[in-house]
Amino acid sequence: MTPQADFKLSRHPLGRLVLTDAEGIEHLGVTPVRAFPIAAPDEGLSLVGPEGHELAWVPRLSALAPELRQLIEEELASREFSPELRRLVAVSSFSTPCTWTVETDRGRTDFVLKTEDDIRRLDRGRLLITGSQGIVYQIRDLQTLDRGSRRLLERFL
């Protein structure tokens, strides 16, 4: 059984989210913000009004009713951009800065790795790699990469 939220969400004709709180007050222009977007994307989500004040807290996104969850996930998808690196095709040099050619879940691209410090290890074999333009690429599990990609990557770790 899905627990009931003490708010309602809808989409304004102009595309912005509208939160109706327990008192029936509508708040236009609500923004969902994850508390832990990388480590625990399903846990802890704040619905923030246009003035930056929290209007509602969602302990677990997956516990919401499907229609609420869908609206929030659509809004998050339009705001969050963190491509998943699936294959490391080539690197221009094994010293930094260097240009990486990669395949991601959003297509093939090139980016410049300024320093090895731009590769951040997380738990369970996960990595975050920040390109020179500020885009953060994620590797969910280092062991799922093909052998060639792991070999190239190991030169920087």
Query: 48-92, pLDDT tens digit by residue?
Result: 999 999 999 999 999 999 999 999 998 988 777 789 999 999 999
N- to C-terminal Cα distance for the chain?
45
d(CA 55, CA 108): 39
Q: Does the pLDDT of residue 19 top 70, yes or no?
A: yes
The model's pLDDT over 120-152, given as tens digits with 9 standing for 90+, comes to 998 878 899 999 998 999 998 999 999 999 999
Q: Are 96 and 157 in contact (CB under 8 A)?
A: no
List, for residues 76-86, the tens digit of each pLDDT value.
887 777 899 99
Res. 3: pLDDT tops 70? no
Q: Please tell me the distance from the alpha carbon of residue 91 to that of residue 79, in angstroms, as a whole number.
A: 29
Please report the pLDDT score of residue 70 as a whole number: 92
Q: Supply the mean pLDDT for the chain.
A: 91
119 against 157, higher pLDDT: 119
Residue 157 pLDDT grade (very low, low, confident, very high; cuts 50, 70, 90) = confident
Q: Is residue 2 very low, low, confident or very high in pLDDT (cuts 50, 70, 90)?
A: very low
Looking at residue 4, what is its pLDDT?
59
The pLDDT value recorded for residue 39 is 76
